[in-house]
Amino acid sequence: MITDEKSRAVVLLSGGLDSATTLAIAIREGYEPFALTFGYGQRHAHEVDAARRIAAAFGVRRHLVLEIDLRAIGGSALTADTPVPKGGPGECAAAGIPVTYVPARNTIFLALALGWAEVLGAAGIFIGVNAVDYSGYPDCRPEFIRAFQELANLATKAAVEDARPIAIRAPLIEMTKAGIIRLGSGLGVDYALTTSCYDPTLEGLACGACDSCRLRRRGFEEAGVPDPTRYAGAGTTS
Distance in angstroms (rounded) separating the CA atoms of residues 153 and 160: 7
What does the longest C-alpha to C-alpha distance in the chain come to? 57
Q: Which domains does the chain have, with CATH numbers?
A: 8-223 (3.40.50.620)
What is the distance between the alpha carbons of residues 208 and 198, in angstroms, rounded to a whole number?
10
Q: What is the pLDDT along the chain (238 residues), one digit of tens a residue?
A: 444 456 999 999 999 999 999 999 999 999 999 999 999 888 788 999 999 999 999 999 999 999 999 989 888 888 888 888 886 544 444 557 888 888 999 999 999 999 999 999 999 999 999 988 666 789 999 999 999 999 999 999 999 999 899 999 999 999 999 999 999 999 999 999 999 999 999 888 999 999 899 999 999 999 999 999 999 976 444 3
Q: Is the CB of residue 53 less than 8 Å from the CB of residue 21? A: no
Residue 14's closest CA among 24, 23, 27, 3? Answer: 23
What φ, ψ does residue 235 adopt, rounded to 5°?
85, -60
Q: Name the nearest CA neighbour of 192 among 34, 125, 40, 184.
A: 184
